[in-house]
Every structure is written in C-alpha cells, then in structure tokens.
Amino acid sequence: MKTHAKVVVIGGGVVGCSVLYHLTRFGWSDVVLLERSELTSGSTWHAAGGMHTINGDPNVAKLQKYTVDLYREIEAYSGQDIGLHMTGGVMLAATKERHDWLKSIMAKGRYLGLDALLITPTEAADLFPLMDPDQFVGALYDEVEGHLDPYGTTHAYAKSARKNGAQIELRCMVEALEMRTDGTWKVTTNKGDVIAEHVVNAAGLWAREVGRMVGLELPVLAMEHMYLLTEDMPEVAAFNAERGREMLHAVDFDGELYLRQERGGMLMGTYEKACKPWSPEVTPWDFGRDLLPPDLDRIAPSLEVGFRHFPAFEHAGIKTVINGPFTFAPDGNPLVGPIRGLPGFWSACGVMAGFSQGGGVGLALANWMIDGDPGLDVFAMDVSRFGDYATMAYTNAKVQENYARRFSIRFPNEELPAGRPLRTTPIYDILRGKGAQFGAAHGLEVPLWFAPDGVTDAFSWRRSTDFEHVGAEAKAVRGGVGVIEISGFAKYAVTGPGAAAWLDRLLAGHIPAPGRMAIAPMLKDDGHVIGDFTLANLGPGGDGHAGFFIAGSGIAEDYHMRWFDRHLTGGVSVRAHGAGLVGLGIAGPRARDVLGEVTPAGFDVADFAFMDIRRVTLGMAPCTVGRVSFTGDLGYEIWMAPEYQRHVYHAIHAAGAAHGIRDFGLRALNALRLEKNFGGWGREYRPIYSPYEAGLGRFVALGKDADFIGKAAAARMKADGGKMRLRSFTVDATDADVIGDEPIWQGDDVIGWVTSGGYAHASGVSVAMGYVPRAIAETDDGWEIEIMGSRCPARLQRRPLFDPDGTRMRA
Ligand SMILES: Cc1cc2nc3c(=O)[nH]c(=O)nc-3n(C[C@H](O)[C@H](O)[C@H](O)COP(=O)(O)OP(=O)(O)OC[C@H]3O[C@@H](n4cnc5c(N)ncnc54)[C@H](O)[C@@H]3O)c2cc1C
C-alpha cells in the first residue's frame, strides 16, 4: 500500500469512486481510495439504481444531467457493463397542485435544455399501462430517466480511475485521522499509515464516524428505505411483447411511490410518512452488506394507494422486500466541499441519490480540490450551508421531515415546521404575539409577515392569504414608517492592525472612510461574485467597537467565514457575530422623525447622511446605527447586543405610534426592494455571474491601488462585457407571480431565467428579475415570462419603479 499520496479518498461506494475517477480525469493520479471492506459495501450495493435529471433546484438538475450523461462514457472507458436501462419516465400528478408543480418543473427545465413534456393521463397510460388514468390529472414525460446496476456502475468508476493511475486498497479500514504540523494528514489504517495532502470523507453510512475522527459532527442521518420486487407479471410480459421495450419508470407523488421494471416483474419503492431513522447516533462498524428486516405495515398506506393507482399490483405476488439504510442531510441535498478550519479535509457525503448525483458530486469536488473552485454553482450542495445549529437532534428532526415529504409538494410560501423554533431573538415572542408568521434562515426564526387574528398562510403557487396584508405592510413603509427585525443578516467584525489592508485586498470596492459605509462586492480569482456586502468603517474609536463591520447574507454566514478564513493573514481577526448581535431596521419617509425621538438630545438626525454609520444611544441602549436600507426608502439599520433589543424595539414603537409605525416582514421587504431593482445574494448574485453581468460593476474599484482578488479577471470581464445581463421586468401576471427559475422568452426562444420576483405592492405591478443575453438586454419589446405554464407579456424596466433617482433614500 502507498505510504504517501496527494489524496486519500475514504469510502468505496458510488460517491467515493466517482470522486476518485474525477480526480484522475483532471490530472491527479497520485490518489488512493481506502475501503474497509469491498467496493459498494455501504448503501450502494442494495440501491434500486434509479436515476433522473429533474430536480427542483436547476443547479442540482445540471449536476444530475451531467451524471446521467457520463454513464455511457465511463462504461466505454472502463469496459465495465453498468447495466444501463434508459427507459424514460413519467411523473404522475393526482391533484391540481401537483399538476401545477409539474408545470413549474417543466418550465424550469427549459433553459437547462431538458426536454420534459406535459402529457395527459391518457397519454401517460399509453406509455405506462399499469396506471389507472382516472386516478390522475396529468403527467410529465422525460426520456432521460432510467436505472442501472449499482455494482457495475461503481466498478466502472473504479476501473476508469485505476486506468488513470489511481490505487484502490480494499479491506483497509481508516481508524484515525490527524492533521500534522506541516499541514498534511496522517491517515491511520489497519494496514499502516498514509500521509496525504488531502483527505476526502466519502464514507457514506459512516460519514459521521469519519467526521468524528477530526472533531466534526456532520449533519447526516441514515433512514431505512424499502422497495419490493414482484413476481413476474403478465401485464409486464404483454407490454414487453407488444411494444418491444421495457416498462417506463414512474413516480406517483401522491402515493409516495416509484416504480420500474425488474426482470419480468416490477420494483415498487416508497417514501413512507411513517419513516424510521436507522442507527441515529452511531453507525456500527460491523454493518456491511447487510439488510434490515422488512416492515410492510409501515409502508401499507402507500401500498394501498399504489394498488388503487396501479391495479395490476393487486394481483402481483411479492417476491422480495429490500430494506436498507441510506443517508440524508437535513434538506436532502449532499454535503460537499472543504471544511472550514480543517485545510485539506473534504466532504463528499450525505448523497441520498448517488446514481443521479454521484457524477456531479465527483466533478464539483475534483474541480474544487484541483482549481480551488467547484467551477459550478453548488451552493445547494455546499457543506457550509449548515452551521452549528444543525446538531444531531436538529438533523434527526429535519431528515425525518424531509424523508416523509420527499414526494410532497413544497409550496413557495410554505415554511416547514420540524426542528423549529430553534434560534430565536429576544423580540421573537413579542412579534409572535403580533401575528408574525416566521420562516427559518440558517436556523434563525425570521418574521415574514404579520397576520391578523384568524388568518394564516394558505400554501399555494398563486397569490394567497398573505397578499393583501403584505401589501399593507409595504404601503405603510412607503407612506409613513415601518420597523423590521433584521437579525437574520450575517454580521462580521474585522479587527486588528492589518484589517484595512486585508479588506482592501479581499473586497473589490473602496474602503470607506471612518464613519462611512460602502457596498462591497467580493470576487473570486476568476472575477465572479462570491459575496455582496455592506462594509462599514467604525473608525479607531478605542471603545472596543473599532474596526470594520460587515453585513451580508445570513444563509451564507458559514460559507463566507470559510472564504474569509482561507484568505486570512496575520494581524487580522474576523468574527461572525451570529445572534450575538441583533438588528432592527426602520424605513419610510417618517423614519428620520421616529429615530430623532428615540435618540438623546444633541444628536442631530438631520446631520446623519446616507451611508453614515455611528454609535448612537437609542432610548437608553448603546447601538450602532447605519443610514442604509434595502427598501430603497429613507431608512436606518440599527445593531445592538441582544439584551437591548426589546428595549430599542419598544422605544421605536413608542416614538413611532404618532407616525403610524407598522411592523413589516421579509415578504414586504422583498416587494419594496424589487421596486428599486435591488438584487440579493443567492438569487441575483451568485458565484457564476460577473459583477458586470450582475449590475455590480459600479462598485468594483478597478482603479484602486490594491491588487484585490479577482482584479485582473474583472478587468478582462469589463472589457469583454460578458454574456448575460441582470434585468428587471414588469409582468402582466394574473393571480400568480414569479417565484424564481422561470424561463424568460424572447419571441419563440427561451433565452434567460428568472432569479426572483413577486408583487411590488406599492407600485401595483408584478415584477421579475432575471438574466438575459447581453446582446438583447436593451430590447424593449417581445419579452414573455412563463408563470405556471402561461407565457405572460413582460416589459423591460430600465429604471427602478420607485424613486429612480434615489432622492428619497439620500434625502
Ligand atoms: C433501498 C435503497 C434504495 C435506493 N435506491 C436508489 C436509487 O434508485 N437511486 C439512487 O440514486 N440512489 C438510491 N439509493 C441511495 C444510494 O444507495 C446512495 O445514494 C449511495 O449508495 C450513497 O453512496 P456513498 O458512496 O455515499 O455511500 P456508501 O455506499 O455507504 O459507501 C461508503 C463506503 O465507505 C466505506 N467506509 C466507511 N467508513 C470507512 C472507513 N473508516 N475506512 C474505509 N472505508 C470506509 C464503506 O465500507 C462503504 O463502502 C438507495 C438506497 C437504498 C438504501
């Protein structure tokens, strides 16, 4: 066995073998995979082997498409038969809501080049005669769907990797991991030690145990999962004989079932509501190529629906029931990427759909390890999307919710309840008492809107019960003043003698003068946007609050901290405040009057210019107040230690009562920022866009002395112009607004995609933001945006709907 290697991959399941293959494919051949038993000895060997491209997240769908497209290639390259059956598949909707969901999935797929087709139940029954068409309202047909042999596929990756120079060591158990002082890793195994520059945790069912070897508690839980195999069915034989091909794959969302042909019979699997975690705390090392006892009672309700929807099953004999465990992260997506604080340690686990996603995971991780960047937008899979709040107990609650809802619809306005409330701010109960409806962001409860007594969110694809109330909140801000909890932002303190110079190199914008703030994009080496922040220079105050303050996206707190850490130099300290610093925002034309009444005499609010930031006492509480607002209105963001938040909130309300102050939530904030064409992280701003495409170019200071990260690439992108442009549109929508990821049409072509949008209540129009090709980005006519299967006329909104000159914000 090798004693030194550039990379040690732990785990010979489909994911580890894919990672190993991709590393060698991109030129790293000094790599070794260590497998404690034989290849496929975790979840992989008993998988049903189904794979498909369609996914609710277009970025994940892209990686799934890559995975499926890769199969023929690795089969040919390795010479290993992977048992590929590309049958095509139908997704079946038994309700109108599910049919709407299928329409949205089809629309999202358009600009990815996915050729899924909406068909009627009768058309679906012609393709898949086992179904009773009367039980369904519609279906989506996709020809890129099928199944393969899990063993053959894993071995195809492994053989391809070996052919490229990789080594695979079987019956080699990793027992301990230790980071050495020179930054390399000592990997202790039953066959001796290996010293490696990089270690990849692809240990599947044992990913938690391998994580614990380096002090990590990964948010992963294994769930039991069952599928049954029937005896040969005459209906299957008749179909095969008549059509000369196999049965299609089918997913029945309302029955929580998936089906496919297996030899002369059928395979039927369930994501049952009465789901069961397996080994929730520790995965036993003596588990291997084992199965769990079947429990048909647990899946009986799904089977009952199955017999109704697919009558032929009622007479089919059950040959075998397979029950095996496989792992999930709290949101069902993989956990991929580098681990903050552990240089050279990488995660490739929590992959619940290894045969749809394994190739994409291998591709992204290999890019990341070799080039320092995944090369794709993989935030949905990034291990950093979870923070410390994702404890084992939280993970347990969330994974069960996710499993039981795997085939359930998640409406765009639906907040899932498991594991909540977990992180709350001091005014949580006060806001709740006022009817606040909360969502969770990075585990923190954030108010979305305020419901009058007796009104709750009715989950829907269309405008719903919140519409008029969110509208009233938005209008109250534009017409007077509103207050919003903004603790959900990420907040960072950057201190130390080298702070200014470090930020000058890290961020693409100018460093503001003491007491001032600036919009600060952060770029990657390739010039794409990896963060968008408000940077404040708190000055050298000497009061313990000196230094710099950064506010950014809350969901990206760990993602950005990992980036900060990676680039940290001596003499600088970066700290995430988390909920140790909380915030309130006030906005609207009367905001200044209200603030003036809660500040002590002598503080001249009128003297407080746009983008100023100061230490101010509000009521009796010490706060930091910045004059900036995402509403685009006159506004202030107020930051304080948690113990003062109730006091400040009450003081603002007491002063604001005479001005008609109203609480507002994030949905109203969204409606307000859309009127200003303001983008947000994770939607308009992502690591696949250049600042010039994203409309952030004016904040990139190419002329500043500092050689900031991405400067040379940004200069090239500016000269070149890039391919796409972020644009805002008003849309002739009727009863549903865009959610995100809808296609943008120009004439008969899908040429772009929506990033976000909604109803801009104060302006009374529906708005969509999205990316379109630069060459036609100034075109006024011919735009359409597809909402729920209907192409709605749209107009380019060149200037913001509200206060296009920004006078109100700066007044
Ligand atoms: C019943 C069932 C049906 C499924 N059907 C499908 C399907 O149709 N389509 C689909 O895409 N997915 C399906 N899955 C899920 C799929 O099996 C997983 O997504 C996939 O197998 C995960 O692969 P992995 O490589 O991450 O983990 P694993 O397969 O668990 O592999 C991990 C490997 O790491 C090794 N290992 C662990 N610790 C160590 C150590 N310390 N030292 C050395 N080696 C170690 C283990 O021995 C094991 O071989 C199904 C799962 C089940 C249970």
Residue ranges with strand state E in 65-149: 89-93, 117-119, 138-142, 145-147
pLDDT for 544 beyond 60: no
Partners of 585 in the β-ladder: 484, 637
Tell me the per-residue pLDDT of 400-421, one tens digit each, with 9 for 90 and over: 999 999 988 889 999 999 999 9
Mean pLDDT to the nearest integer, 494-504: 94
| 310-346 as b/e: b if 16+ CB within 10 A | bebbeebeeeebbbbbbbbbbbbbbbbbbbbebebbb
**By the 8 A CB rule, do 760 and 675 touch?**
yes
Contacts of residue 148, defined as CB under 8 A and 6 or more positions apart, other chains included, come to: 49, 51, 71, 82, 83, 84, 85, 355
Instruction: Give the position of tokens 């920022």.
Output: 673
The residue type of 52 is: H
What does the pLDDT read at residue 101? 87
Residue 304: exposure state from Cβ atoms within 10 A (0-12, 13-18, ≥19): exposed
Q: Tell me: pLDDT of 473 over 90.
A: yes
* pLDDT at residue 542, as a whole number: 45
Query: How would you classify residue 554: left for phi > 0, otherwise alpha for psi between -120 and 50, otherwise beta?
Result: alpha
Best of 187, 188, 206 for a ligand 1 pocket test (most atoms within 8 Å of beta carbon): 206
Give the ligand 1 atom nearest the CA of 204: 27
**pLDDT for residue 541:** 56
Rounded to an integer, what distance in angstroms lies between the CA atom of residue 521 and that of residue 140?
41
What secondary structure does DSSP assign to 673-688, as a single string?
A: HHTTT---BTTTB-TT
Q: How far is the CA of 203 from the centre of ligand 1 (A)?
A: 8
Establish whether residue 538 lines the binding site of ligand 1, counting it when its CB lies within 6 angstroms of any ligand atom: no
**Tokens 């609010």 sit on residue:** 605
Does residue 545 carry a pLDDT above 60? no
- pTM score above 0.75: yes
Give pLDDT, residue 115: 79
Confidence of residue 113 (pLDDT cuts 50, 70, 90): confident
- pLDDT tens-digit readout, 567-620: 999 889 999 999 999 999 999 999 999 999 999 877 788 889 999 999 999 999
pLDDT for position 774: 97
Q: State which ligand 1 atom lies nearest to the alpha carbon of 213.
A: 41
Residue 775 confidence (pLDDT) above 80: yes
For the residues 125-146, what does the mean pLDDT come to? 96
Phi then psi for residue 577, to 5 deg, are -70, -25
The answer to whether 348 touches 201, Cβ cutoff 8 Å, is yes
pLDDT at residue 75, rounded to an integer:
98
Asked if the model's pLDDT at residue 206 lies above 80, the reply is: yes
Per-residue pLDDT for 372 more than 70? Answer: yes
Residue nearest to atom 4 of ligand 1 (CA): 47
Euclidean distance between CA atoms 112 and 106, whole angstroms: 10
pLDDT, tens digit (0-9, with 9 covering 90-100), for 78-109:
999 999 999 999 999 999 889 988 988 888 88
Ligand 1 contact via 354 beta carbon (within 6 Å): yes
Going by the DSSP 8-state scheme, the letter that residue 299 receives in this structure is: H
More confident of the two residues 634 and 54: 634
Check pocket membership of 41 for ligand 1, CB cut-off 6 A: yes
CA of 175 to the centre of ligand 1 (A): 19
Distance CA 428, CA 421 (A): 10
pLDDT of residue 689: 96
User: Is the sign of the CA dihedral 359, 361, 362, 368 positive or negative?
Assistant: positive
- What is the reported pLDDT for 409? 86
Count the neighbouring beta carbons within 10 Å of the beta carbon of residue 109. Answer: 23
Pairing of strands 89-93, 249-252: parallel
Query: How many CB atoms lie under 10 A from the CB of residue 219?
Result: 26
